[in-house]
Structure 1
Amino acid sequence: MSFISYRFRHLAAASLLALAVPALSPSVPSFISPALAADPARGGTMNIIVQPEPPMLQLGLNQQGPTQTVAGKIYQGLLTYDEKLDPLPSLAKSWTVSDDGLTYTFKLHENVKWHDGKPFTSKDVLFSTTKFLPEVHSRARANFARCESITAPDDYTVVFKLKEPFPAFIRAFEVASAPMIPAHLYEGTDFRNNPANATPIGTGPFKLKEWVKGSYIHLVRNEDYYKPGLPYLDNIYFRVIPDAASRALALESGQVDQSQYNDIEPFDVARLKEVKSLNFTTKGYEFVAPVSWLEINHRVKPLDDKRFRKAIMYAIDREFIRDKIWFGLGNVASGPFNSSTKGFDSSIVPYAKNVDKAKALLDEMGLKPDAKGVRATVKLMPMPYGETWQRLGEYLKQSLKQVGIAVVLESTDVAGWVQRVSNWDYEITTNFTYQYGDPALGVSRTYVSDNIRKGVMFSNTMGYSNPKVDELFAAAAKENDPAKRQAMYSEVQKVLVDDVPVVWLLEMQFPTFVSKKFNNVITTGIGVNESYESVYLSKP
């Protein structure tokens, strides 16, 4: 059997880079460059906002955003991914994929230790991917269920044999998608109630020292890290700051060195971009590639009619939403695929605001305006994730009124929102999901009919069903030929854009602010969730 090897391509590229880029390019900010200074400073402390406070740090059990950002320094996966979503080494130093796309062979680093000093071997990979993750991690369960076998020929080799081709499999090994878990601490235990969950043991460059609930999480350098000389930092403190105004002030005053995701409200971004001590970027979110939308319950009339959903699409100005509500953060979404996600078709033309078309579609449905100009009334429940989402709800209410759709705004807390949406107890809500680098991992789950699962959040909660969409997603997921796979994904995008199962809003961009004292912070497509092994503090 012939194999395509990543290892030699990676080493060759690294060698060329070392020759071609001896120092940081002045056009690339050092905090988002994977290059290093000639002699990076060792030591220092970094203070990072974390909000909300993670419920736990056992990344296999919880993959909420704040958990990923903190635990990504403690745990590691076999791979990580660059901003183009191509795989890079992590705990695996090299890998091969067979020509038929069925066999993935990983070679592990041989000198890795868990934080308690025990060796990391293929036994831990087998345990993580055949026992722990399939029981507790829904995305990992689906990915590894595609394996006919997972075997370990020796202590530092793992072989995944798939039942059928699944090209997206190579993107299933990022730290939050498949964190490696220590078999010696978890095997034969109740995973969810294991005492080790309170004191996570990983292989990463930082170890948990202290967690003062409601105040901070303190990580310290792993002195036994398997990469000589790394990490550079001595400490990372994750500071819990619940109030948005206080977070912005802490960043502006230098009390904290970094913010990410939704830490900073969009209306504060422009002001903070002018702070001379801070760098700003929206890079580092290519792997999650979020798309926001209006989620529509197809079980409720007239929302089940695609003409009504198209009317909503035509009634709103998504450029206004981007510029005035998100203050320029994001791009208008053309359809279901983020432009960073594999398979995106750039020929898809976004819907433009057209009030006349919206009214014509409603007329075609027989929805004539009454004496007050109202054709239909719908309930909109904005997601309870901050002031910006509430502002969006108010804007949508005003925009849809222009075409005769009256909107009743509903409010709820996070727990209530999740409960209602997952159990289909809503009409319209706002939402966004992550795409995880490949449509087979993060896009299809929203639209395929076999993922209509009551009580399960971020499934096909709309109840949308189109056999053609099911067929195309299923065929594309197992197609090895890139051109054929792209043709299928292009076709499914066109079908979905015509059906408008949801009203796509923006390819979201999250603002990351980092103190200019720190270098090498955003280096891959998973950004702030990376290990921070190579982050260093500038010399005074």
Structure 2
Amino acid sequence: MTDHDTPAAASASSSITLASQADPAAPGAPANLRRRGVLGATGALLAGGLLPLWLPDALALDKALPDTEQGAQRGGALDAVVHPEPPTLAFFINTATPGRTVVSKIFDGLLDYGPDLKPRPQLAESVEVSPDGLSVRLRLRRNVSWHDGKPFTAADVKYSAEEIWPKYAPTARRVFQHLRKVEAPDSHTVVLTLAKPTPVILNALDVVAAPVLPKHLYAGTDVPNNPYNNKPVGTGPFVFREWVRGQHIALERFDKYWAPGLPYLDRITFKIIPDVAGRAAALETGAVQYGERNPVTFADADRLARSPKLVVSTGGYNGFAGWLWLIPNLRDPILGNLKVRQALLHAIDRDALTRTVWGGYAAPATGPVSSLLKTFYTKDTQQYPYDKKKAEALLDEAGFPRKPDGWRFKLNHDYIPFGDDYRRTGEFVRQSLRAIGIDVTLRGQDLAAWTKNVFSDYNFQLVSSWGINWQDPQIGVEQHYWSKAEAKGTPWQNASGYASAEADRLLEAAQVERDPARRVELYRQFQGVAQRDLALLNLFEFRWFGVWDKRLRNVTDTFDHSQNNFARVWLATK
């Protein structure tokens, strides 16, 4: 990761300029790779919404391609791996990363974000925020069509903003909570009227945070059960062709994509390879040419990095600052006890966990905000260092002494079924807790069952899960701690049942605070409350890596590997 992990809020300048910047040297990245032009914007703008934001004309950007991209080769089929298999492609309801990886090639967002976390135009060519922060005007791109040939218009955005964002989309439901009116004065203009300023909006207009669906296919339907959820029709560079469960998801080039000449690739096939050794073999033999978000074991990553045919790189994850935690069900009489939760953290040697299980591709967490999100991060929070004696003493104080058989109580631990690394993390946690007298049963489930148990039925005691900070804590952290974010049946929304008046006050103040410095301070205070109350037991921060064929170009020109639309990715023949 690089200093570009700092969000745009770090800037204090008030200028808005168009810049062309060289790509930082990422491990294994082609030295001659260059970024396309991006918009330079201010912290007051992005964090405070104080000034108009005008994104550059998209056609001008498309014509001013970097030298290496002017020589891009068109055509070719890319075989990629997605793991685990997405439970659904209804990304506007379930934002799980495997589905996001696929659907981001099918749909475009209003905006995209570059490696520097600054906005880039997609369906919206420009965005203007009124001086009082209560009006956001989106000027939409012309000559865009849905994959079924219907034109994309302001009606699609208006429908999505009124029906999809407040009712289904987890991030949009929080970000646009103060949205009071949506107007479409013409077919390519949308005006959002807010009851209160919402500074985070300009950091949350991407394809998943603010999804735009085709009105003609969704209006008047049972949205959660719409047949197009799993055969999606989008506006993005690739068209959905088929999903053979357990085998692959196939996409093809959209010949009428709004950007002339793009995408470069003819096809992308996401292969479903559950076995991690199988994924490593597929990458090594060339059966697949791309895998993102730690597709192989760390030992295999080190080995594959020595291959003359492959790239192993942490580039392209600047906005994907992820961390892993344990979710204690606070409704449970055992885990609702704060001293028990404190004991659990003291019992886990997080340095050893990151070193042995995660191969050094992780770092112990100090709270819910990643140290990679430098503007908002603070390490000045209550910590729970590895201390078995302290953990045992806390359990005694909590009223759970060891019984004659040596056990204090039993717990079920359901690890997130995203692969062997997560299973081994569960095993590490189980061993750690058994050492202090907690009889832990480790349970593996498929993703659909795990998701239902945790987020719909609240049928769990302790689970492991992970999430992303994104560019701003309001986008990726708030949902796990804000009492009003709890939404039974919606994945990754405050499953613990945490409700704190103090945490709510800080989070709600940050939602409308337009002074960037004050907003940062509110989030730093919140981190202190979060680490005191332990609604989540934060274990470590990820250092993600991807593996891909060295012939693949422009892979890391993104804020989030898992969300790159691949319009500008191309495959060299040599």
Partner SS for 1:30: coil
Map of 2:55 onto structure 1: none
Name stretches of at least 5 consecutive residues in structure 1 with no aligned partner. Answer: 1-7
Within the candidate set 354, 357, 376, 2:390 is matched to 357
Q: CA deviation at 1:28?
A: 7.8
Aligned residues: 527
Secondary structure, aligned partner of 1:12: strand
Asked if 1:204 is matched to 2:210, the reply is no
- Give 1:104's aligned residue: 136
Partner of 2:48: none
* Match of residue 440 from structure 1: 474
**What is the DSSP-based 3-state SS (H/G/I as helix, E as strand, rest coil) of the residue aligned with 1:320?**
helix
Q: Which of 430, 450, 458 is the equivalent residue of 1:417?
A: 450
Q: Is the contact between residue 294 and residue 428 of structure 1 (CA under 8 Å) also seen in structure 2?
A: yes
Q: Please tell me whether residue 484 in structure 1 is matched to residue 490 in structure 2.
A: no
For residues 565 and 246 of structure 2, what CA distance do their matches in structure 1 show?
23
Cα deviation for residue 220 of structure 1 reads 2.5
Is contact 1:267-1:326 (8 Å) kept?
no
Moved over 6 A (4+): 23-28
Q: Which residue of 2 aligns with 1:258?
A: 290
Question: The residue matched to 2:196 in structure 1 has which SS?
Answer: coil
1:226 to 250, 255, 258: 258
Change (3 A) 1:264 1:359: same
- SS in structure 2 of the partner of residue 395 of structure 1: helix
Give the Cα–Cα distance (whole angstroms) in 2 for the partners of residues 369 and 56 of structure 1.
Answer: 44
CA shift for structure 1 position 253:
0.5
Structure 2 distance, partners of 1:353, 1:26, is 33
In 2, the alpha carbon distance for the partners of 1:457 and 1:197 equals 16
Specify every segment of 5 or more residues in structure 2 that has no aligned partner in the other structure, as ranges.
1-13, 37-65
Q: Is the 8 A contact 1:283 1:525 kept in 2?
A: no
| Cross-structure match for 1:30 | 30
Q: Which moved more, 1:55-64 or 1:455-464?
A: 55-64
| Aligned pairs for 1:2-151 within 5 A | 12-14=18-20, 17=21, 29-30=29-30, 34=35, 36=66, 37=68, 38-57=70-89, 59-60=91-92, 62-151=94-183
Supply the AA of the counterpart residue of 1:511.
Answer: F
Aligned to 1:463: 497
With 427-436 and 315-324 compared, the bigger mean Cα shift is at 427-436
Structure 2 partner of 1:529:
563
Distance (whole Å) between structure 2 residues aligned to residue 531 and residue 90 of structure 1: 10
Distance in 1 (alpha carbons) for counterparts of 2:228 and 2:496: 38
Q: How does 1:261-272 map to 2 (within 5 A)?
A: 261=293, 263-272=295-304
The residue number in structure 1 matching 2:306 is 274
Cα distance in structure 1, aligned partners of 2:560 and 2:109: 12
Contact kept in structure 2, 1:383 and 1:430, CA below 8 Å: yes
Q: How does 1:124-523 map to 2 (within 5 A)?
A: 124-192=156-224, 194=226, 196-197=228-229, 199-261=231-293, 263-341=295-373, 343-348=376-381, 350-365=383-398, 367-371=400-404, 373-422=406-455, 423-523=457-557
1:134: Cα distance to partner? 3.8
Helix, strand or coil: the match of 2:547?
A: strand
Native 8 Å contact 1:115 1:203 kept in 2? yes
Secondary structure in 1 aligned to 2:18? Answer: helix
CA distance in 1, matches of 2:257, 2:313: 29
How far has the Cα of 1:515 moved from its partner? 0.5
Q: CA distance change for structure 1 residues 398 and 235 in 2, over 3 Å: closer, same or farther? A: closer
Task: Quote how far apart the aligned CAs of 1:61 are.
Answer: 5.3
Q: Which whole-Å deviations, capped at 9, do the CAs of 1:470-505 have from their partners, x for residues lacking one?
A: 111111111111111111111111121122222111
User: How big is the shift at 1:356?
Assistant: 3.4
Contact 2:328 2:335 in 1 (8 A): yes
Tell me which amino acid in the other structure corresponds to 1:29: A
Q: Are 1:291 and 1:433, in contact at CA under 8 Å, matched by a contact in 2?
A: yes
**Residue type matched to 2:433 in 1?**
L
- Give CA deviations for 1:368-390 in whole Å, capped at 9, x if unaligned: 44555544443333333333333
Call closer, same or farther: CA 1:141–1:247 in 2, change over 3 Å.
same
Q: Label 1:97 to 1:107 Cα distance change in 2 as closer, same or farther (>3 A).
A: same
Distance 2:242 2:332 in 1: 49
State the one-letter code of the partner of 2:524. S
Contact between 2:382 and 2:532, CA under 8 Å: does it hold in 1? no
Alignment check: 8 A CA contact 2:170 2:490 kept: no
* Residue aligned with 2:19, SS: helix
CA distance in structure 2 between the partners assigned to 1:214 and 1:365 by the alignment:
46
Residue type matched to 2:541 in 1? E
Any conservation in 2 of the 1:47–1:257 contact (CA below 8 Å)? yes
* Structure 2: distance between partners of 1:26 and 1:377: 46
* Larger displacement relative to structure 2 (209-218 or 469-478): 209-218
Report the Cα offset of residue 277 of structure 1.
1.1
8 Å CA contact 1:50–1:66 kept in 2: the answer is yes
With over 3 angstroms needed to count, the CA separation of the structure-2 counterparts of 1:375 and 1:234, relative to structure 1, is closer
In 2, are the aligned partners of 1:333 and 1:350 still within 8 Å (CA)? no
Please state how far the C-alpha of 1:214 moved relative to its aligned partner.
4.0
Q: Measure, in 2, the Cα distance between the counterparts of 1:374 and 1:242.
A: 36
Q: Deviation digits for residues 314-338 of structure 1, max 9, x if unmatched?
A: 2211111111111222221111112
Q: What TM-score results when the alignment is normalised by the length of structure 1? A: 0.88
CA deviation string 1:224-252 (max 9, x = no partner)? 22222322222222223233222211111
Change in CA separation of 1:153 and 1:454 when aligned onto 2, cut-off 3 Å: closer
- Distance in 1 of aligned mates of 2:90 and 2:325: 30
> Percent identity, aligned pairs only?
36
Deviates more, 1:461-470 or 1:181-190: 181-190
Q: CA RMSD in A?
A: 2.9
